[in-house]
Amino acid sequence: MALATNSAAAAAAAVSGGAAQPRLGASFLPLKRRTISAVHAADPAKNNGPVPVAAKTSSPTVAPEKKPAPAATGKWAVESWKTKKALQLPEYPNQEELDAVLKTIETFPPVVFAGEARHLEERLADAAMGRAFVLQGGDCAESFKEFNANNIRDTFRILLQMGAVLMFGGQMPVVKVGRMAGQFAKPRSDSFEERDGVKLPSYRGDNVNGDAFNEKSRVPDPQRMIRAYAQSVATLNLLRAFATGGYAAMQRVTQWNLDFMDHNEQGDRYRELAHRVDEALGFMTAAGLTVDHPIMTTTDFWTSHECLLLPYEQALTREDSTSGLFYDCSAHMLWVGERTRQLDGAHVEFLRGVANPLGIKVSDKMNPNDLVKLIEILNPSNKPGRITIITRMGAENMRVKLPHLIRAVRSSGQIVTWITDPMHGNTIKAPCGLKTRPFDSILVSIFQLQRSCLGSMFPTIIQHYNFINNLINLT
């Protein structure tokens, strides 16, 4: 899960109520594979060629005012990523079956809507300016086997719990983003895995192939994309119900604890905080301020995942009917990973043309000048909320490498939101063979970003449920 914190506490601000809801009258047209001539898809007014008929989504959110964008390095098209070198993509054995699956997905409704993505961008802009926290959470990768309502509820409940701790302690709105409803694909350092002399294709996530170590399971199967789409839609449907149906009401703050926290010191600390929130709500009621307002009974919740499986992402790209912008409607927010962020690569080419808020994963290997160039490619108009930088480099590298990255971005005048991922960067293997992270290293990563940013917004990615135990000790 991800946690955003700001060392300078601002005045309390109410979290905007209710997730953006789709307009029932939205019209959809199938996306035709024709060339889209554009300088940058984030500003279609600059297009200097024909725009194809594309699936359109309508949204109640008004499109932001367009600003002239500087000329990009080339014309963008929905398929222009295919002209670039694409890493981390599976090799499907049957091209005809793959094409048939992608054409089917192109006819499906979007998983998310453009107006929701614009709303998230506005909230991330607040975080970039130090007016909000960002909390992002979820598993490293979703799976088909672990898909059930209880797991979705428990992840959502932890995010609510952590959000309450952060909002009450920091007196600042919390932007909640789930690594859910689409986070299936996994980048691999090697295309093949070898066990006992047997060499098979690497497991790339449930939307590509299976994790069982046998030849049949490891063959990339395009039909898995349809199942991933269905699971994403079902997950988001349940999340919307939780977010707007009363489960997220602040009056339920004392009920968000998980069972494993019922009988320990950290659980007691959370209950103490929850009772203080209850007392504040009681005071509001006594003063005549209603607690039935949507701000108090609902919450905004957005989804995110790594933009890795480009054929699937393209199939869910739609032109928004209210703004003329193209959105990847598989998630509200997408990020480009450490292994696919090449300046001339296919993933960067695809992402520069969609209007979703974007993340950039960076490690200690990132060159500061390359980071500045990458931000310029993805956000040429320097729009606040468009870019979030997610650092994952371990505690020691955070001390040495991070200040140079921040200094380069600040010197360029680029507006970004900074996030740190202290989980992946601090991974060690326990004697029993399981991966774990020293909590001291996690704290160093978090507070090093705070020191480096000198009080500007920073979040952290946390992907283990039991981290909430220790999080409460920070409040």
The domain spans of the chain are 2-248+298-474
Q: 88-97, 152-161, 344-353 — which is least confidently predicted?
A: 152-161
Backbone φ, ψ for residue 368 (5° rounding)? -55, -40
pLDDT tens-place string over residues 173-206: 999 999 999 999 999 999 999 999 999 999 999 9
Q: Using an 8 Å Cβ cutoff, are 113 and 20 in contact? A: yes
pLDDT tens-place string over residues 425-450: 777 788 887 777 777 777 766 666 65
Binding residues, by number, are: 140, 179, 338-339, 361, 392, 424
Residue 318 in this model has a pLDDT that exceeds 70: yes
Longest dimension (CA), the chain: 73
DSSP string, 146-210: T--HHHHHHHHHHHHHHHHHHHHHHTS-EEEEES-SS------SSSEEEETTEEEEPP--TTT--
Binding residues for Mn(2+), by number, are: 140, 424
Q: Which residues pair with 156 in a beta bridge?
A: none
- Using pLDDT thresholds of 50, 70 and 90, give the confidence band for residue 83: very high
The residue type at 3: L
Outline where DSSP puts E strands in 190-331: 192-195, 198-201, 302-306, 317-320, 326-328
pLDDT tens-place string over residues 88-145: 999 999 999 999 999 999 999 999 999 999 999 999 999 999 899 898 888 889 999 9
Fold classified for 2-248+298-474? TIM Barrel (3.20.20)
Q: What is the mean pLDDT of the chain?
A: 80
Q: What pLDDT does 239 receive? A: 97
Binding residues for phosphoenolpyruvate, by number, are: 179, 338-339, 361, 392
Nearest to 274 by CA among 395, 423, 424, 160: 160
Which three-class secondary structure state does DSSP give residue 372? helix
Residue 34 in this model has a pLDDT that exceeds 90: no
